Amino acid sequence: MPPENPHTAPVTPLARHDGWRTLQRFLPYLWPRDNPALRWRIVVASVLVLLSTGVQLALPYAFKWAIDAMNVSGPRAVQVVLWCVLAYAGGRLIGVVFDNARNIVFERVGQDATRQLAEHVFARLHRLSMRFHLARRTGEVTKVIERGTKSIDTMLYFMLFNIAPTVLQLAGVAVIFGISFGKGLVASTALAVVAYIWVTRAITDWRTHLREKMNRLDGQALSRAVDSLLNYETVKYFGAEAREEARYAQATRAYADAAVSSENSLGLLNIAQALVTNVLMAGALAETVVGWWHGSYTAGQLVFVQMYLTQLFRPLDMLGMVYRTIRQGLTDMAEMFRLIDTPVEVADAPGAPALVVRQASVIFDNVVFGYDPDRTILHGLSFTVPAGSRVAIVGPSGAGKSTIGRLLFRFYDPQAGRILIDGQDIRGVTQTSLRAVLGIVPQDSVLFNDTIGYNIAYGREGASADDVAAAARGAAISDLLDRLPQGLNTEVGERGLKLSGGEKQRVAIARTLVKNPPILLFDEATSALDTRTEQDILGTLRAVAANRTTISIAHRLSTVVDSDVIVVLDQGRLVEQGSHADLLRQDGLYAEMWARQAAESNEDDLAVAAQ
């Protein structure tokens, strides 16, 4: 099995975050300023929390009075006991009603917060640069989003409906114990609560590191699975199923080991919490029994103490789980906020106007660019594409041809120089308006896993059925649609794999025709096709390019011989420029490339004839 490439392996550092900073970014979702209806829901839910807490604090009194009344004979005592028991049962019912009504009122708040955050992250990801998306793995990014968005609803619920009621109950029990039993029991309870919180926090902090490791390994396993399935054909070509299964198994085993450690630590935490709570319970009940023996307390007060402590331990037990959940939620949300905070490498200038094109000319003016600071791709490149002309860009592999297309669409900004469209620097206009005037037919036309009609209509929002049909005719795809039983409603499969290479290219051409841009870029649009299909596609491309400014990036020189101007690049520099005939007369790099490709073509023809 080949070793992991350290530059591409999914290495995600353990999440570190400032808990308060993450919490501050989370709080606006708890109180949405721009939605009064949701704020009212939170207010109503908070009132229901107060009512439910008040009912819970009153229940032990009813039970205490019932037990004390049972020590007195007579019909009056029976009535008191019955009323107290009925009040206790009714109080429990009312508490359940308040809790569920609170959940019903609050559900819209949690779902709306999750929706807003998910939409924000999704929009942010589309604004990040191509450099980010090439460096990150899709599986890891989707997992970060999934965990982060799911955590916000949980945190909203726990903060409002677990932490707040627990604090209220602690305060209420302290007051009641102080009045009924004095400061000793209050101090003991407070000490036990502090010890409980300290133990919970200490062990949970340790568990958080295990959780972070689990997240990293979970993302790694998912990214390997997604990577392998996306490259299904490559796996099959090289008979690498066993290798892929071994790589995935390695990741899942590591995740399983981390999950076991995390669950074992949970058991240790539960034991420590139970030790603190039961020591307090034993001490408080023993003190009450001693008081009852000396005549200071009644039998009802023993049950009174037991019920309050049990009632207090229940949210304290929940508090431990809530603290763990919040810490885990902060970890997940911090990772997601870190994703949101990723700097946007290519951004619109403040107040940038829209690009207005009257003459669709393109100028590269002394452009310097490199994907890495220590590796320059384009060295002061300058050339002009006049409006309405057909310009081809050719050169050896690594000359920087495809980089020109990425810069033109402003996926990256050059380190120096300018790119002008109709005399306007593309860095000074909005990216939306820039890409609206550009159309592309790429070498690898990736389609959405939807219908042919959907993929063609994707070229322009709001495209009508007539627009789609006209584009299909313009891309010479009508014959294909006539042969398909479902026509435009035919599913193309993942990345368009149900279609042939030529069919995918024609769908991509139709999609560009729907967009109807004044400037077209053909980026190696026929390099992956056979000769016959290539000639058919070239005929379609020539028809599409009529009356438009066209830039063709090509490897096969035979596809661009009729271009008005051919720009020849070598190692990011313009070395020759002119028509096909002019360049052959110059007997330079272009003539050398032409002769080599002609010789290769002759050899292929002889090989076919020999067969």
d(CA 290, CA 325): 40
- For 177-219, the pLDDT digits (tens) are 777 777 777 787 788 888 888 887 777 777 777 777 787 888 7
Q: Which of these, 372, 202, 356, 212, lies nearest to 272 by C-alpha position?
A: 202
In this predicted structure, what is the pLDDT of residue 364?
A: 93
19-340 and 446-516: identical CATH topology: no
What's the whole-number mean pLDDT along residues 302-307?
74
In this predicted structure, what is the pLDDT of residue 122?
A: 77
Please tell me the pTM assigned to this model: 0.62
| Residues 12 and 219 sit within 8 Å (Cβ to Cβ) | yes
Q: Give phi and psi for 376, each to the nearest 5.
A: -85, 130
- If one compares 174 and 289, the residue with the highest pLDDT of the two is 174
Rg (CA), the chain: 35
| Residues 363 and 384 sit within 8 Å (Cβ to Cβ) | yes
| Residues 557 and 588 sit within 8 Å (Cβ to Cβ) | no
The CATH classification number of 19-340 equals 1.20.1560.10
Residue 416 pairs with which residues in a beta bridge?
A: 368
Q: Give phi and psi for 500, each to the nearest 5.
A: -75, 170
Residue 355 has a CB neighbour count (10 Å cut-off) of 21
As a whole number, the mean pLDDT across the chain is 78
**Ordered strands of the 573-578 beta sheet:** 438-441, 519-523, 549-553, 390-394, 565-570, 573-578
**Residue ranges per structural domain of the chain:** 19-340, 352-437+519-611, 446-516
In this predicted structure, what is the pLDDT of residue 2?
A: 38
d(CA 139, CA 121): 15
Residue 607: pLDDT band (50, 70, 90) is very low
- If one compares 289 and 83, the residue with the highest pLDDT of the two is 83
d(CA 526, CA 443): 7
What's the whole-number mean pLDDT along residues 546-551?
84
Highest mean pLDDT among 195-199, 254-258, 366-370: 366-370
Q: How far is CA 443 from CA 29, 137, 427, 534, in A?
A: 44, 22, 26, 12
In this predicted structure, what is the pLDDT of residue 3?
A: 38
As assigned by CATH, the class of the 446-516 domain is alpha beta
Residue 535: pLDDT band (50, 70, 90) is low
**Non-local CB neighbours of 72 within 8 Å, separated by 6+ positions:** none
In this predicted structure, what is the pLDDT of residue 602?
A: 57
Q: Which of these, 295, 224, 220, 290, lies nearest to 254 by C-alpha position?
A: 220
- For 446-460, the pLDDT digits (tens) are 788 888 888 888 888
- For 308-346, the pLDDT digits (tens) are 777 777 777 766 677 767 777 777 778 778 877 777 778
Residue 604 has pLDDT above 60, yes or no: no
What's the whole-number mean pLDDT along residues 224-228?
82
Superfamily of domain 352-437+519-611: P-loop containing nucleotide triphosphate hydrolases (3.40.50.300)
- For 558-575, the pLDDT digits (tens) are 878 888 899 999 888 899
Residue 611: pLDDT band (50, 70, 90) is very low
Residue 4: pLDDT band (50, 70, 90) is very low
Q: Which of these, 405, 413, 505, lies nearest to 455 by C-alpha position?
A: 505
